[in-house]
Amino acid sequence: MTRSDLRCIVEAVGANALMDELIHALTEALRTFDGEQTEVRKRDGFLLESARQPGCLEWMPVMQRGQAVTVKMVSYSPHNPEERGLPTIIATNSLYDVHSGHLIALMDGVFATALRTGAASAVATRCLASPDSRVIGLIGCGAQAVTQLHAISRLFPITEVLGYDTNPEAQESFARRTAFLGLNVKIVPLAELEERSDIICTATSVAVGGGPVLSEKKLKPHVHINAVGSDLPGKTELPKSLLERSLVCPDFTVQCLVEGECQQIRPDQVGPDLITLVKNPDVYEPWRERSTVFDSTGYALEDQVVTALFLKHAERLGLGTSVALETVGGDALDPYALLHTPEAAPKRDVRLATGS
């Protein structure tokens, strides 16, 4: 599935409807999660050394027993935008048949990652933020801030959006990039953002050891924070003191303890994970009037959900191109059979999307 296929899906479904559908699908996947049927692994990968700031290349696997394995390969290169004109996050999502090991589908993960991360924050925010929340603050106005705002605005009647970024270009273009939402976007000093926001999303490329990115001096007592930027040991966005007095909900606990905000606190100070939160929302409802944090490091289950959603729409719309990528067909016992097997002409084929 190419970039043009994804464009066709968004145009056919609509950006708002697609985000609504993703939020619903992710909520259901979390609410009905069964560890006996779905195995999610903590991501692993390589640290990419850089003279300025390290990045990483990682893989995030999840298996639905008896069905398929979804794997995302994702890179984090914080200087991509200014040095190469590329996104900070670049990814590809792939789907494999668990019976044969056959690659069923391969698709872009850049757009999918942005969408699913925003959707995950929306799910957590619905459970933890005050229902009266109207003002949202974005610390970091890059690509991820756009989908954070989009997703949360689908669940809360946002009346004002406050943005802050250390990058002047990101600040200046944020209102234009979010204009499709029809919201009142203002760029303000960080102190004002902290003081006035009911919901705050931190989505920064802060360096390892460079945090925190907010001061917590005048936060509202009921503030809910989605901390999205932590993805390496030593890279954090929030003050430890804020975490210690808040209900901290990790997306995937074993991962967050290593590379999320949770690495700053003891395991016994960590609250319910996202699955527990969604399965038992009433239990944590009293926290909506106190400070809460969603520690979002990126969860492979989210990748499974968004990949399945795009493939469903690809099947419905007849999108996806069949590619003879693997050397299969002919004599299964003869690796040189490819020399005698005629190549079929490339054609558009929905079977890539359906997994058949």
The answer to whether residues 317 and 281 belong to one domain is no
Q: What is the pLDDT of residue 158?
A: 98
The answer to whether residues 294 and 207 belong to one domain is yes
Q: What is the mean pLDDT of the chain?
A: 93
Tell me whether residue 164 is in a domain: yes
The answer to whether residues 127 and 230 belong to one domain is yes
Is the per-residue pLDDT at 343 higher than 80?
A: no
State how far the Cα of 133 lies from the Cα of 148, in Å rounded to an integer.
Answer: 15
For residue range 47-56, list pLDDT tens digits in order.
Answer: 887 767 778 9
Mean pLDDT within 258-272:
97
The answer to whether residues 214 and 155 belong to one domain is yes
Which residues are catalytic, by number?
Answer: 231
State how far the Cα of 137 lies from the Cα of 185, in Å rounded to an integer.
Answer: 10
CATH of the domain at 26: 3.30.1780.10
Mean pLDDT within 187-204:
97
70: containing domain? 3-111+301-327+341-351
Tell me whether residue 99 is in a domain: yes
State how far the Cα of 351 lies from the Cα of 356, in Å rounded to an integer.
Answer: 5
Is the per-residue pLDDT at 117 higher than 80?
A: yes
The answer to whether residues 243 and 177 belong to one domain is yes
For residue range 131-167, list pLDDT tens digits in order.
Answer: 999 999 999 999 999 999 999 999 999 999 999 999 9
Q: What is the pLDDT of residue 350?
A: 44
Q: pTM, whole model, 2 decimals? A: 0.92
Q: What is the pLDDT of residue 217?
A: 85
Tell me whether residue 157 is in a domain: yes
- What does the H/E/C string look like for 31-48? HCCCCCCEEECCCEEEEE
The answer to whether residues 101 and 135 belong to one domain is no
CATH of the domain at 264: 3.40.50.720
Tell me whether residue 11 is in a domain: yes
State how far the Cα of 69 lies from the Cα of 100, in Å rounded to an integer.
Answer: 11
The answer to whether residues 127 and 267 belong to one domain is yes
The answer to whether residues 249 and 221 belong to one domain is yes
Tell me whether residue 49 is in a domain: yes
The answer to whether residues 69 and 151 belong to one domain is no
Tell me whether residue 335 is in a domain: no
Tell me whether residue 223 is in a domain: yes
The answer to whether residues 287 and 318 belong to one domain is no
The answer to whether residues 128 and 262 belong to one domain is yes
State how far the Cα of 94 lies from the Cα of 241, in Å rounded to an integer.
Answer: 40
Q: What is the pLDDT of residue 108?
A: 94
State how far the Cα of 265 lies from the Cα of 314, in Å rounded to an integer.
Answer: 43
Handedness of CA 33, 34, 37, 38 (dihedral sign): positive
Q: What total of structural domains would you count in the chain?
A: 2
Tell me whether residue 274 is in a domain: yes
The answer to whether residues 33 and 81 belong to one domain is yes
Is the per-residue pLDDT at 351 higher than 50?
A: no
